[in-house]
Amino acid sequence: MTTPKKKIAIVGGSGYGAAELLRILLFHPGIEIAAVCSQKNAGKPVADVHRNLRRLCDLKFTGDAPEEVAEGVDLMFLAAPNLASLELVPRLLETKARIVDLSGDFRLRDAAAFKRYYKHEHGAMEAQKQFIYGLPELFCDSIRSARAVASPGCFATAVTLALAPIAAEGAAEAAVVDAVTGSSGSGATPAENTHHPRRANAFYAYKTDGHQHLPEIVQALGDVGGPFRVHLQTHSAPLVRGIFVTALVPVAIDPRPLFARFYERAYFVRLPIDGGSASPDVANVANTNFADVGFAAGDGVTRIFVAIDNLVKGGAGQAVQSMNLMLGFDEATALKMPGGDP
């Protein structure tokens, strides 16, 4: 007897996050995509907006209210910009559909921190109590039973993966982190500082007054180890995809056995091969759900490097990883995608 497929829907269907969700889920053996919601594109073929899906996707966008769509599905992905979920989620929680939210709206348990970093009153903290932070390498058991998951930010994913074994071991209490991202992290709608002509030949620091992913990094590290200070500076690089993190930890340790123990069961975290290069490369993780790790040490400082694809492991791929756990699939289902070489 064939097991019925689980039905999912995507809200905010015209952005990069939705495009990546579709690219992955169209080939998931246990999933049926029941609806892709977009008010501005209602009635239009999905492949007219996401042209990489031509001949692969015959769905059309729906303009139906998400809470109406939710009544007929097992799980809703929310891929709309930050702040859009604040009003929507309380209504969705009245349905039976489980939720994976890719925005930053429900990641933080502290309303004051949310207001500081997102410049907006939260107003839905009761709903936030139903969310689990969706970093599977740290919180897989909680994700399996979650009603709703707040999928981590791209910088937060890379930085937390770099520092979680250190925090959990109590090997240090602070780190200085440089984090570099490609332009796709700013979303599909161009702005003065994010469109391609501005970024193609540029490299610069931004959000020097504090990135909104910082408090979720500190929150997650506290959950696995205890208070941990992170001094984070983000940079824009002339890349389309990719995040590269360099974390400087002011202790002299051998991180290899520590990371090997902590990520023993983490399929998507790839540690250095003995004798291999100390540094990972964003080229090897582009279009994949892998996080590649490297190490170096000297002068009493341990350096940890992490490379991810911001749209996959830092976005839609990780959200699918959480969905797999929530719906009873192997967490790697539909996510074993190799990168290119070169």
Domain assignment present for residue 329? The answer is: no
Specify if 220 maps to a domain.
Answer: yes
DSSP string, 47-67: HHHSGGGTTT---BEE-S-HH
Q: Which of 37, 57, 140, 154 is catalytic?
A: 154
Q: Is 154 a catalytic residue?
A: yes
In this prediction, the residues of the chain whose per-residue pLDDT falls under 50 are none
Residue 186 has what pLDDT? 53
- pLDDT given at position 213: 97
Q: What pLDDT is recorded for position 190?
A: 59
Does residue 102 sit in the same domain as residue 193?
Answer: no
User: pLDDT per residue over 114-146, tens digit each?
Assistant: 999 999 999 999 999 999 999 999 999 999 999
Residue 297 lies inside a defined structural domain of this protein: yes
Instruction: Tell me 271's DSSP state.
Output: P
**Residue 297: its pLDDT value, please?**
86
Looking at the fold, whether 61 and 97 belong to one and the same domain comes out as yes
Enter the tokens of residue 121: 């009153």
Q: Are 104 and 122 in contact (CB under 8 A)?
A: no
Over the stretch 89-99, which tens digit does the pLDDT of each residue have?
Answer: 999 999 999 99
Q: Which domain holds residue 274?
A: 154-310
pLDDT attached to residue 25? 98
pTM for this model (two decimals): 0.95
219 and 271: one domain? yes
Total count of domains within the chain: 2
Q: What is the pLDDT of residues 153-196, one digit of tens each?
A: 999 999 999 999 999 999 999 999 999 998 765 555 556 666 66
CATH of the domain at 81: 3.40.50.720
- Alpha-helical segments (H) within the chain: 16-25, 46-49, 66-70, 84-92, 111-118, 125-128, 136-144, 154-169, 196-199, 214-224, 255-262, 282-285, 317-327
Same domain, 290 and 180: yes
Do 116 and 178 lie in a common domain? no
- The separation between CA 306 and the C-alpha centre of its own chain, rounded to angstroms, equals 14
